[in-house]
Amino acid sequence: MARFDSIYQELLGTIVKKGIREMSERTKHETAAIPGMHFSIDIEKEGFPILTLRKIPIKMFVAEQIWFIAGVRKPADFLRDYTKIWDNFTNPADVVTVAYGYRWRKHFGRDQLGLLVDLLKKEPSSRHGVVVTWDPATDGLSLFKKKNVPCPYTFTVNIIGGRLHFHNIVRSNDVILGLPADVAGFALLQIILAQKLGVKPGVYSHSISNAHIYDNQYEAAKEILKRESTHKPIHITLPKNAYDRAEKKDKKLLDEIVENITAQYKPLEAIKGLQVVL
């Protein structure tokens, strides 16, 4: 079994067996939850962390990361051609106010992602490569039920031993639907940043404050835990200049990355009827 599939089954099994079941006041759904879950996977040595225990949509997370790198916040600007995943979080002006890439590149008055690249080019050993999505002026700490606040709210990038390592910190992860897309998407960002900086990708780490599954996913979780995958590790070969092309919202870049992954991706069948709880 591919390394990420093993990690995922272990994490999911822990939630199913030991998760605390409580009702969410906001969603009116029961969740089974575990606090403080963490895993790491070495992308160069163990393969790209894409779930093969069930089929996940590749175009969705690739398009999302290109949209993030471009720093825009309207789904009509590139993203909606490939996925409508952010349409539930737009305001009447069709803007996602918490669009992650916009927060990284414009929201705080500085281009965090651009500065990260510049910093690690000039000082590869720096430990200051932190990018923040969470805005303490507006996010969280309120009973007002916003449509969306960032789930992956900060990440840290380090170059150690000539390889780029990425630590993603997530306040809340729906382990059935959210986590597989988040891990694949941010691991792709890691690979794109590594290429931009002329180093190899290293360890992807994922830390979750509240890892949970919803009551309408319990049966799907049991099904996934029964499955066995003999999938070989996937190793992504990026087209040249992926970071620069992503900034320009290059549609050919998306096609090339999707083609490279799709040629290697032979997952088990999709689980039908899974619904996002908002």
Q: What residues are annotated to the active site?
A: 151
Partner residues linked to 33 by β-bridges? 20, 212
Q: Where are the beta strands (DSSP E) in the chain?
A: 20-23, 30-42, 130-132, 152-160, 163-174, 200-214
Q: 14: which residues sit within 8 A by CB, 6+ positions away?
A: 34, 37
Dist. CA 201–CA 165, nearest whole Å: 7
Pairing relation of β-strands 200-214 and 163-174? parallel
Dist. CA 64–CA 13, nearest whole Å: 28
Backbone angles phi, psi at 227, to 5 degrees: -80, 150
Q: Roughly what angle, to the nearest 10 degrees, separates helices 178-197 and 3-18? A: 140
Asked whether 34 and 261 are in contact (CB, 8 A), the reply is: no
Dist. CA 82–CA 63, nearest whole Å: 7
Task: Write the single-letter amino acid at 130.
Answer: V
Task: Write the single-letter amino acid at 68.
Answer: F
Chain centroid to CA 230: 24
Partner residues linked to 38 by β-bridges? 207
Dist. CA 254–CA 258, nearest whole Å: 6
